[in-house]
Amino acid sequence: MSSTTQEITPLFQLDGKVAILTGASKGIGAAMARGLAEFGAKVVISSRKQEAVDTVAEELKSQGLEAIGIACHVGEAAQLQQLVDKTIEAFGRIDIIINNAATNPIFATLDQSDPAVFDKIMHVNVRAPFLLCNYAYPHLCKQGGSIINISSVEGMKPSTGLGLYSSSKSALIALTQSQAKEWGKDGIRSNVICPGLIKTKFSAALWQNEAILKHIESQLPAARMGRPNEMAGLAVFLASDAASYCTGSVFTADGGYLIAG
């Protein structure tokens, strides 16, 4: 092993770090939680149902990893505050926040979209990450930390029928960069990951439609949709000291969607 490798490898380790992940009972969130735990982090698995988060946490613990489950509906401010408080009670610190929870209850053009749906999407996709990070800010300030917001390529290249979702994900990118600019002085980094089409329950309406899936894959340089575990490595990197000079950055993992024709 070269001296260069010996110097770089420890930068990816997360030993002693505590991470909160929302929307982590399945899909991308669960894959990222596993990735962080395998690199040494103590992970807080959060989603709406206690049974669901306990299942993921118990699976990780059965493999010698450190994890707990804390149920939280991110649309409820009081529950977000409780998520922070319970994490501090359990582990005494917070180093990493991954805002992965999101909603998209509609596929419609903007003129056909109900204002109430707009409010719901913005409430979960933008307001919740804003609040969770603000509640965690006093704890992140103590030693610095990493915020990773999960946006979407839809926030950079909107598709017809996903206008409200795309708008919320674009707003999340701007929120990320504002956090990076304002909190850099506190040693807090904030970056955003924009996945493309990943095979999860959330995107099932797209990939379960064979015609839509074939069309999308025919346009992608990678010629296929992504898998949840393909997002985990990027999360580990951004959470770790290996990304110590990365803040306010937008990272895409989309199989080439943004450069497709």
Which residue numbers are catalytic? 165
Q: Are 220 and 257 in contact (CB under 8 A)?
A: yes
| Closest CA relative to residue 98, chosen from 222, 201, 14 | 14
Half-sphere exposure (Cβ direction) of 247: Cα atoms closer than 13 Å? 20
Helix axis angle, 27-38 relative to 50-61, nearest 10°? 30
Structure-token match 């600019």, residue found: 181
Buried b or exposed e, range 50-88, using 16+ CB within 10 angstroms: eebbbebbeebeeeebebbbbbbbbbeeebbbbbbebbe
Helix axis angle, 163-183 relative to 115-122, nearest 10°? 30
What's the CA dihedral at 173, 176, 232, 68 to 10 degrees?
-130
Backbone angles phi, psi at 253, to 5 degrees: -140, 80
What's the CA dihedral at 15, 152, 248, 86 to 10 degrees?
-40
